[in-house]
């Protein structure tokens, strides 16, 4: 959990409505484009739980674990 706390605190500050000006990534998990969240729920724009669920699935599928994604983030400055 500590890796996930660091990652999303840095990326979005756990805010549902945040958008990155450089990439257009949106929400808690910083999904680019943000409509990727829609695969998890129709309330993706405003529901932090939908965004978190999507983000956890993305992390597991791509990096294996929150610490795997945090290692990638600290090495490459993106995930």
Mean of pLDDT values over 54-78:
96
> Has residue 44 got a pLDDT over 90?
yes
Confidence label for 27 from pLDDT (cuts 50, 70 and 90): very high
What residues contact 28, with CB distance under 8 A and at least 6 apart? 8, 12, 14, 15, 16, 48, 51, 52, 55
The pTM is what? Answer: 0.91
DSSP state of 31: B
- Rounded distance between C-alpha atoms, residue 47 and residue 22, angstroms: 23
């Amino acid at each position: 959990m500590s890796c996930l706390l660091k990652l999303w605190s840095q990326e979005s500050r756990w805010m549902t409505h945040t958008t990155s000006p450089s990439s257009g990534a949106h929400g808690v998990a910083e999904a680019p484009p943000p409509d990727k969240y829609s695969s998890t729920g129709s309330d993706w724009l405003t529901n932090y739980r939908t965004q978190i669920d999507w983000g956890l699935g993305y992390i597991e599928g791509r990096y294996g674990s929150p610490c795997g994604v945090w290692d990638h983030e600290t090495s490459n400055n993106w995930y």
